[in-house]
Amino acid sequence: MTQVELKEFLNEKVLEYNNPKFIESDPVQIPHKFSLKEDIEISAFLTATIAWGNRKMIIKNAEKMIELMGNSPYDFVMNHKEHHFDSFNGFVHRTFNAQDFQYFITALQHIYKNHKGLENVFSTHSTTTSTQPAIHQLKKVFFEIPHLERTKKHISDPLKGSAAKRINMFLRWMVRKDNAGVDFGIWNNLSPTQLSCPLDVHSGNVARKLGLLTRKQNDAKALAELDKNLRILDKSDPVKYDFALFGLGVFESF
């Protein structure tokens, strides 16, 4: 395909998948249960954190997390008592267990009390062209209070080579404003131009087949290459193509 044909093809796929019907089978349905900004971003952050593996299991366990917080994520983060963590015993998603979940609640409280919330951390430390330095800074802030070493693996760091798929997906949810009904666009201090595509095995494989990516590993260098090529197609909203790449890979086995 020529670049014009590729852009037309991908734009069609964005329209096909970037609509409310997409929500039914996607983890983004969890934050869509809420209307309060802080409830949306906390439930989205926790859901994105466990977004690897079987999608039905991700949704089921994300729903369980919300239930364990009394279906009021922000209130629970800010006002929980130590004994409220007793009900977390036995929770597990892949390698993310009850201890990790408990620490995430504690760290989120620290961020909202001492760093003016998640949006402030990301907007303060992003550059004009990238949110990747802010993801690195989030990890530093997240673990600046006493923590278990094992929990650190659940926050990726782009400056250590990670594609940080799950946090980039979270940022897409929070920042993109396109009125299609999937992404929330509730963060006003960041622009879609700064976002990076959530790069995983599906989007990576499709991107390679379409000539958007040559690097074989799905790492930070691959993400930089993909970002560069998606910005050529649409510099104002490059990560809208995540819908096309993901949809082609998951729903069409492209």
For residues 98-107, average pLDDT: 98
| Residue 212 pLDDT | 98
Q: What tokens were used for 163? A: 């594609």
169-228: pLDDT as tens digits = 999 999 999 889 999 999 999 999 999 999 999 999 999 999 999 999 999 999 999 999
Mean pLDDT, rounded, for 46-75:
97
Q: Tell whether the model's pLDDT for residue 95 goes beyond 90.
A: yes
In the predicted structure, residue 1 carries a pLDDT above the cut 90: no
pLDDT tens digit sequence for 130-158? 999 999 999 999 999 999 999 999 999 99
State the pLDDT at residue 32. Answer: 98
Locus of tokens 């504690």? 106
183: Cβ contacts below 8 Å, ≥ 6 apart: 28, 172, 173, 174, 175, 176, 177
Q: What is the pTM of this model?
A: 0.97
Is residue 89 over pLDDT 90?
A: yes
User: Given this model, what pLDDT does residue 248 score?
Assistant: 97
Residue type at position 35 = S
Average pLDDT, the chain: 97
Separation between Cα atoms, residue 247 and residue 34, nearest integer Å: 25
Does residue 84 have a pLDDT over 90? Answer: yes
